[in-house]
Amino acid sequence: VNIQWFPGHMAKAIRQFEENITLVDVVFEILDARIPLTSMNPEVKRISGDKPHLYIMTKRDLADETRVREWLQYFASINQPAMAVDAKTKFGPNAVLDKVNPILKDKLAREEAKGMKSRPIRAISVGVPNVGKSTVLNRLVNRRAAQVGNRPGVTKGQQWLKSSDKLELLDTPGILWPKFDTQEVANKLALTGAIKENAFSSDDIALYAINRFRETMPEGLMNRYRLTKDDFELSDVDMLLKITQNVGMRDDYLRASDRIILDARAGKLGGFTLDSVADLEANDDTN
Ligand code: G4P
**Tens of pLDDT, residues 183-229:** 999 999 999 998 877 778 999 999 999 999 999 999 999 999 999 99
* 67 and 142 assigned to the same domain: yes
* 155 and 217 assigned to the same domain: no
* 11 and 91 assigned to the same domain: yes
**Average pLDDT of the residues in 39-48:** 91
* 33 and 105 assigned to the same domain: yes
Tell me whether residue 189 is in a domain: no
Tell me whether residue 187 is in a domain: no
**235 compared with 42, residue with greater pLDDT:** 235
Closest CA to 120 of 148, 92, 99: 148
The band of 42, judged by pLDDT with boundaries at 50, 70 and 90, is confident
* 167 and 224 assigned to the same domain: no
Closest CA to 204 of 145, 164, 258: 258
* 48 and 130 assigned to the same domain: yes
* 116 and 211 assigned to the same domain: no
Tell me whether residue 41 is in a domain: yes
Task: State the total domains in the chain.
Answer: 2
Residues with CB under 6 A from ligand 1: 58-59, 61-62, 86-88, 127, 129-135
Could you tell me the distance, in angstroms and rounded to a whole number, from the CA of residue 135 to the centre of ligand 1?
A: 6
Tell me whether residue 73 is in a domain: yes
Return the pLDDT at 1: 44
Could you tell me the distance, in angstroms and rounded to a whole number, from the CA of residue 87 to the centre of ligand 1?
A: 8
The band of 84, judged by pLDDT with boundaries at 50, 70 and 90, is very high
Could you give the count of Cα atoms lying within 13 Å of 224 in the half-sphere of its Cβ?
A: 23
The band of 117, judged by pLDDT with boundaries at 50, 70 and 90, is confident
Tell me whether residue 229 is in a domain: yes
Could you tell me the distance, in angstroms and rounded to a whole number, from the CA of residue 139 to the centre of ligand 1?
A: 12
- Contact between 253 and 203 under an 8 Å Cβ cutoff? The reply is yes
**174 compared with 179, residue with greater pLDDT:** 174
Question: Which atom of ligand 1 is least distant from the CA of 136?
Answer: 7
Could you tell me the distance, in angstroms and rounded to a whole number, from the CA of residue 269 to the centre of ligand 1?
A: 18
User: 73: domain CATH number?
Assistant: 3.40.50.300
Q: Is the pLDDT of residue 78 over 70?
A: yes
* 151 and 249 assigned to the same domain: no
Could you give the count of Cα atoms lying within 13 Å of 165 in the half-sphere of its Cβ?
A: 1
Nearest CA residue ID for atom 25, ligand 1: 59
Could you tell me the distance, in angstroms and rounded to a whole number, from the CA of residue 190 to the centre of ligand 1?
A: 15
**Average pLDDT of the residues in 73-98:** 95
Partners of residue 31 on adjacent β-strands: 57
Question: Which atom of ligand 1 is least distant from the CA of 1?
Answer: 4
Return the pLDDT at 146: 47
Which conformational region is residue 227 in: left (phi greater than 0), alpha (psi within -120 to 50 degrees), or beta?
Answer: beta
Q: Of the residues 89, 130, 263, which should be mutated to test ligand 1's pocket, given the most ligand atoms within 8 Å of the CB?
A: 130
Nearest CA residue ID for atom 19, ligand 1: 132
Could you tell me the distance, in angstroms and rounded to a whole number, from the CA of residue 285 to the centre of ligand 1?
A: 34
Mean pLDDT over each residue of the chain, to the nearest integer: 91
Closest CA to 197 of 124, 255, 282: 255
* 155 and 206 assigned to the same domain: no
The band of 156, judged by pLDDT with boundaries at 50, 70 and 90, is low
Least confident of 24-33, 129-138, 157-166, 253-262: 157-166
The band of 154, judged by pLDDT with boundaries at 50, 70 and 90, is low
ipTM score assigned to the predicted complex: 0.97
**Average pLDDT of the residues in 45-61:** 95
Which tens digits make up the pLDDT trace of 185-197?
999 999 999 887 7
* 94 and 34 assigned to the same domain: yes
* 155 and 273 assigned to the same domain: no
* 55 and 167 assigned to the same domain: yes
Nearest CA residue ID for atom 26, ligand 1: 59
This prediction has a pTM of 0.93
Return the pLDDT at 287: 45
- Contact between 120 and 162 under an 8 Å Cβ cutoff? The reply is yes
Beta strands in 97-219 (DSSP E): 121-127, 147-149, 160-164, 167-170, 174-175
Determine the structural domain holding residue 282 and report its residue range: 201-286
Could you tell me the distance, in angstroms and rounded to a whole number, from the CA of residue 242 to the centre of ligand 1?
A: 31
